[in-house]
């Protein structure tokens, strides 16, 4: 039988091609904007479908802001295998710090492992990040370093497809946002993946390690107003309320208690329709904001209304007494 390819779930990633930030099941992270995680997969070649597949997952070590050296040898293990944690055998080093331990998260918030500890391999890839601490005696720091004439670090902006190597000690200026746009959000700076620090465009940075900058998106807060205006044929109305409050979507406003006037007529109510056909509101009523300004149109009626009874062909009896009512009177 001809060999064929199958796939196996690897982890979740912020980029469809797997070039973003990876998260394993059970990881915890903070979000500041809409976030989509894309499933990534391993490619497996099946030679003989009669032979059961044995999945093996990579086990990696990351220097986590290390300035030199290399990781311990990577390994591949099947789920359920017992993995012994290695020491800093690749001699990662970081200026002013000494290696302390390994952690499953770069900020140290995950599980901590020390050389010689064991871990049961899960059904997904594992990466351990180096944790650094200041030495107990800072006057004595022993480092094993790779000899280089001029050390360079990569400074990258994945969303801009921009990457460059910069000499250690050189000063860079964080890029402008270059017209980046996300509907409903505003650009809030560049966040360095290693440190989590957010930089404003133009900020000078002395390069001492690699930097990967991702955009920070902040939700845009839109404000709305409530406007009180005359309704149909009442352009001469006066005493209209004014509300200068700025409201957000979902806020609830109280209809003003100020009563407008119109010559020869009495105020009746407010309506969301110019002609008074739609939603009716009275002073003190509550009205909730959607995603736009609210306009309330003043509605008036004649001051006194006659209410009469007609016998409609009756030849006997008298109609009830004629009465006049004010608008709204029962």
Residues above pLDDT 90, as percent of the chain: 36
One domain for residues 214 and 228: no
Q: Do the domain assignments include residue 38?
A: yes
Taking the C-alpha atoms of residue 219 and residue 185, their distance in angstroms, rounded to an integer, is: 4
Whether 1 shows a pLDDT value over 60: the answer reads no
Residues 231 and 299 in one domain: yes
Q: Which of 104, 133, 162 is the last residue of a domain?
A: 133
Token duo for residue 85: 């944690």
C-beta atoms surrounding 270 within 10 Å: 25
* 41 and 111, same domain (yes or no): yes
Largest CA distance in the chain: 122
Say if CB 234 and CB 300 are below 8 A apart: yes
Residue 146: the pLDDT is: 46
Q: Which has the closest alpha carbon to 296: 263, 265, 329, 267? A: 267
Whether the per-residue pLDDT at 322 is higher than 60: the answer is no
Average pLDDT over residues 229-234: 87
pLDDT of residue 144: 47
- With 80 as the cut, is the pLDDT of residue 125 above it? yes
pLDDT digit string, tens, across residues 87-116: 998 888 888 888 999 999 888 888 999 999
CATH assignment at residue 249: 2.60.40
Angular region, 262: left φ>0, alpha ψ -120 to 50, beta rest = beta
Domain membership flag for residue 322: no
Mean pLDDT of 77-81: 85
In a domain, 95, yes or no: yes
Q: Do residue 160 and residue 205 come from a single domain? A: yes
Q: For residue 142, tell me if it sits in a domain.
A: no
Q: Select the more confidently predicted residue: 118 or 141.
A: 118
Same domain, 8 and 96: yes
- Reported as a single tens digit per residue, the pLDDT across 14-38 is 888 877 777 777 776 667 778 888 8
List, for residues 184-217, the tens digit of each pLDDT value: 788 889 999 988 999 999 999 999 999 999 999 8
CA distances from 240 to 223, 269, 290 (A): 22, 12, 23
Res 218 pLDDT > 90: no
What's the pLDDT tens digit per position in 140-184?
Answer: 445 444 444 568 899 999 988 889 999 999 999 999 877 777 877
In this structure, are 204 and 90 located in the same domain?
Answer: no
On whether both 92 and 169 belong to a single domain, the answer is no
What pLDDT, on a 0 to 100 scale, did the predictor assign at position 327? 46
Q: What domain range includes position 277?
A: 223-305
At residue 69, the pLDDT reads: 83
Residue 273 belongs to some domain of the structure: yes
Predicted confidence (pLDDT) per residue in 248-291, tens digit: 888 899 999 999 999 888 899 999 999 888 889 999 999 999 88
Pairing state of beta strands 294-302 and 265-271?
A: antiparallel
pLDDT of 138? 57
pLDDT at res. 258: 95
Say whether both 84 and 41 belong to one domain. Answer: yes
Q: Could you report the per-residue pLDDT of 57-70, keeping only the tens digit for each?
A: 789 999 998 888 88
Q: How far does CA 50 lie from the centroid of its chain?
A: 47
Q: What is the DSSP letter of 150?
A: S
- How many domains does the chain divide into? 3
Strands 57-62 and 75-77: antiparallel
What the block records as the tokens of 260 is 């407008």
Spatial CA neighbour of 297 closest among 245, 232, 229:
229
Same domain flag for 87 and 185: no
Please indicate, yes or no, whether residues 26 and 115 belong to a single structural domain of this protein: yes
Same domain, 8 and 128: yes
Q: Tell me the pLDDT of the chain averaged across its residues.
A: 82
The verdict on 227 and 190 lying in the same domain is: no
Residue 10 inside a domain? The answer is yes
C-alpha closest to that of 83 among 41, 24, 126, 129? 126
Residue 96 has a pLDDT of 83
- Residue 317 forms part of a structural domain: no
319 belongs to a structural domain: no
Report the DSSP beta bridge partners of residue 57.
Answer: 77
């Amino acid at each position: 039988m001809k060999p064929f390819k199958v796939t196996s779930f690897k982890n979740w990633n912020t980029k469809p091609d797997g070039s973003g930030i990876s998260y394993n099941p059970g990881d915890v992270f903070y979000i500041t904007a809409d976030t989509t995680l894309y499933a990534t997969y391993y490619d497996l070649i099946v030679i003989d479908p009669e032979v059961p597949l044995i999945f093996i997952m990579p086990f990696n070590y990351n220097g986590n802001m290390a300035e030199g050296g290399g990781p311990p040898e990577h390994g591949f293990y099947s789920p359920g295998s017992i993995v012994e944690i290695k020491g800093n055998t690749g001699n990662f080093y970081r200026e002013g710090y000494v290696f302390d331990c390994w952690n499953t998260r770069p900020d140290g918030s995950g599980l901590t492992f020390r050389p010689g500890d064991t871990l049961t391999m899960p059904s997904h890839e594992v990466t351990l990040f180096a944790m650094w601490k200041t030495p107990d005696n800072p006057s004595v720091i022993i480092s094993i370093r790779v000899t280089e004439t001029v050390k360079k670090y990569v400074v990258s902006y994945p969303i801009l497809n921009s990457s460059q190597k910069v000499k250690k000690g050189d000063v860079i200026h964080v890029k402008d946002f270059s017209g980046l746009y996300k509907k409903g959000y505003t650009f809030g700076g560049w966040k360095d993946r290693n440190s989590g620090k957010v930089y404003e465009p133009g900020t000078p940075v002395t390069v001492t390690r690699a930097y990967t900058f991702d955009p920070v998106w902040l939700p845009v807060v839109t404000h709305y107003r409530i406007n009180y205006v005359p309704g149909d044929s009442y352009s001469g109305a006066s005493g209209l309320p004014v509300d200068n409050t700025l409201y957000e979507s979902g806020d609830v406003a109280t209809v003003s208690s100020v009563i407008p006037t119109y010559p020869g007529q009495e105020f009746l109510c407010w309506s969301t329709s110019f002609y008074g056909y739609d939603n009716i509101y009275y002073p003190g009523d509550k009205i909730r904001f959607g995603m736009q300004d609210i306009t309330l149109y003043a509605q008036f009626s004649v001051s006194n209304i006659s209410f009469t009874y007609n016998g409609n062909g009756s030849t006997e009896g008298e109609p009830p007494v004629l009465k006049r009512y004010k608008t709204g009177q029962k």
